């Protein structure tokens, strides 16, 4: 990748709906590394990822990361039903100031579907298109929330290969997932970081 990058998260606390869910989260993600977030449903993985992506403010702690290096992908793919696969990808490429979507189409085996409207894709195909979007952002740090939902075994392998190529190219990936993606990656179980209710003495200014 073009510039050296590293994501350093220190003592991060985040809240969902005004209630703290995780606190004291610290880790470092360097170029070429992948980190899988583990933990039971509802523990706050999505909240953590949204906080890291800058969509919501952190309660405490710091996220140190070079500006405009993160590409975020969540449960919703951000696809427009009436646009074709090519048009959807081209739109996001232009928004991120990139050109060339052919590699993304090839990597996720979408070339044959390129002219089809997104509303005529299956759930798994839509998901692949949503993930192909990551490649056209040109950003080195991928922040992914359950990327393999509704993917079949072959597509998971495609995704795994794409992530591995991304890592080899100097990128990094932070992925919340429950399954094995078939490439070497660090694991971070967020269960120990579950926020403890504070004593009632502090229960004033923030009402939490």
Residues forming contacts to other proteins in the complex (CB under 8 A) are: 17-19, 21, 50, 53-57, 68, 70-80, 82-83, 87, 91-92, 94-97, 133, 195, 197, 203-208
Q: Which is nearer to other proteins, 92 or 193 (CB)?
A: 92
Adjacent-strand bridge partners of 189: 38
Q: Which is nearer to other proteins, 180 or 202 (CB)?
A: 202
β-strands 60-64, 6-16 pairing: antiparallel
Report the nearest approach of other proteins to the CB of residue 14 (Å).
10
Q: Token match 């583990």: residue? A: 38
Cα-Cα-Cα-Cα dihedral sign, residues 116, 117, 118, 119: negative
C-alpha separations of 67 from 54, 79, 131, 195 in Å: 11, 25, 22, 28
Q: Which is nearer to other proteins, 74 or 113 (CB)?
A: 74
Report the nearest approach of other proteins to the CB of residue 204 (Å).
5
Task: Name the DSSP letter for residue 83.
Answer: S
Report the nearest approach of other proteins to the CB of residue 171 (Å).
16
């Amino acid at each position: 990748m073009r510039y050296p990058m590293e994501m350093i998260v220190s003592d991060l606390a985040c809240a969902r709906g005004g209630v703290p869910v995780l606190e004291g989260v610290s880790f470092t993600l360097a170029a070429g590394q992948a980190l899988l977030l583990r933990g039971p449903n509802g523990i706050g993985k999505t909240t953590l990822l949204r906080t890291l992506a800058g969509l919501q403010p952190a309660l405490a702690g710091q996220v140190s990361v070079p500006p405009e290096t993160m590409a975020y992908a969540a449960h919703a793919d951000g696809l427009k039903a009436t646009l074709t696969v090519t048009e959807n990808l081209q739109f996001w490429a232009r928004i991120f100031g990139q050109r060339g979507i052919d590699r993304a189409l090839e990597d996720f085996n979408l070339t044959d579907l390129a002219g089809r409207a997104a509303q005529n894709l299956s759930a798994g195909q839509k998901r692949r298109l949503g993930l192909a979007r990551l490649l056209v952002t040109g950003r080195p740090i991928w922040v992914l929330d359950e990327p393999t939902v509704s993917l079949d075994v072959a597509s998971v392998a495609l995704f795994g290969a794409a992530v591995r190529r991304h890592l080899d190219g100097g990128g990094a990936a932070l992925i919340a997932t429950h399954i094995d993606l078939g490439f070497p990656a660090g694991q971070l179980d967020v269960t120990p970081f579950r926020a403890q209710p504070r004593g009632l003495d502090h229960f004033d200014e923030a009402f939490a």
